Amino acid sequence: MNAAIIGGGIGGLMSALFLSKQGVDVTIYEKEGKLGGRLAFEERDGFRVDQGPTIVLLPEMFQQLLDEAGIGRDCYALVLCDPLYSIQFSDGLRYTKYPDFNRQLGEVNRLFPAEVEGFKHFIEEGRERFAQGKQAFLEKSFVNRRDFWTGSNVKTLLKLKAYQSVRKLMANYFQDERLKTAYSLQTLYIGGDPFHAPAMYSLVPFSEHEHGVYYLKGGYASLVPILEEELKKRGVDIYLNTAVTNIHSDGKRVMGVETKGGFHSFDTVIFNGDFPAIAQVMKQKEKRSFTPSSGCVLLYFGLDRIYNDVNVHQFFIGENFHEHMKAVFERNMLPNDPAFYTFHPSIIDDSLAPEGRGVLYTLVPVPSETNISWSEQTEWIEKIIDRMEQLSFPRLREAIQWMEVRTPTDAEQFGLFGGGSFGIAPILFQSGVFRPQVKPYPLENLYAVGASIHPGGGIPIVMQGAKLMVDQWIRDQALKGESVHA
């Protein structure tokens, strides 16, 4: 039994690990010159910094999935970020989040004494909602949509207040607008608007306190060679710089894939590109339009110093956060006073740069699918650097040894739908049962994984999606009377 995986992102790599454990002969076709997809480094002159994901959430899920895939915990190291991160508002107030509950209560009491009870309720109710949401949605796929619409799931949706936005849900707990922002901005991790993303995504800010925010030693992208080495040990065939140009189907099942080397027959095909791009390689009757997630302007720096008095992760909120979100998600305009995020891992990892030097990463949420000419936005980018220097990184300009900029144009050229950085947007009708599933079409042997596939974006969630896909594949083989390794 053999399988082709189109794309070597984290979803494809985890799928290959799970399938190879089932005795399947796996072949990966990757259009780029290396595996990993968005898990990659920006490297120059002995410096390296993650290009994409930086925050490790849901560490237990992350580790358990790697365990199941056959990757030992001695192969990598997770470091708890303590503090989790800080959020600085335009009025100068800095709110810090901690993994310790009592320390967090103290921080809330220090800055927002009237909000202590609301914070307690947020954590208490979040714990119950998280357990229900994880079981109902993260651990299940909905290839048959009727499986979703059970009485139990409907009750869970109501409990999660999926009909509300994350921001509106936070108003149930907090009165201060700054705290509402502090506990709703996390939808931006997956390219969603806090003012419109359904409240089920409020499980993310709860999980940060409950499960922690971690850093993968060596950088998130250091996971890729670990997985690649294991795949090669198992005899998985990996073809780099090899784009799949066509998925052949007879209307009932997929026959195989076509590359520059010709047609290749496979029993199973798994698509790990950004899902809307499947239309480029497959003539599928069902056509659906999607809304992309937000885009990002990303700045990568090599520095001649390390800023040891800042947090690894920091958020800086502009004067009007709501206006920034409207500019990104409604007006498709460049925000005038944007919020932004910085990542300075050199504080806890000296392997990323030459001795005494550091790396820095900055992310600014911007529109996707826009006509903005990014090559003409030098002045706007310079203003971001000015604010970084003023707010947290004194004399930053003189510390910069090199800088690289990535925009939604680069993301789209890489193959990300509409230049969005996180797959399709986490809006209500692109979430849960409404999101493309691990078996997206009524073809008996075509599957899909990735950020645009249920259960959604974020590295551990995409990894979980790969597990759901292989679980579905195993069920399908059983129905056909095929034996697989337990």
Bridge partners (DSSP) of residue 359 are 302
Instruction: Give the CA distances from residue 328 to residues 19, 299, 338, 366, 444, in Å, rounded to whole numbers and listed in that order.
Output: 39, 18, 10, 5, 39
Q: Is the peptide bond before 83 cis (omega within 30 degrees of 0)?
A: yes
Residues 200-231 as b or e (16 or more Cβ within 10 Å = b): bbbbbbbbbbebbbbbbebbbbbbbebbbebb
How far is Cα 475 from Cα 486, in angstroms, rounded to an integer? 12
Q: Which amino acid is at 137?
A: F
DSSP letter string, 239-305: ESS----EEEE-SSSEEEEEETTEEEE-SEEEE-S-GGGGGGT---S------B--EEEEEEEEESS
Contact of 465 with 454, CB cutoff 8 Å = yes
d(CA 39, CA 12): 12
Helix H segments across 112-150? 116-133
* Catalytic residue (choose from 30, 42, 208, 230): 208
Q: Is 229 a catalytic residue?
A: no
Cα distance between residue 297 and residue 313, in whole Å: 17
- For residues 310 and 392, is the Cβ–Cβ distance under 8 A? yes
H-helix or E-strand containing 404?
strand 400-406
Active-site amino acid positions: 208
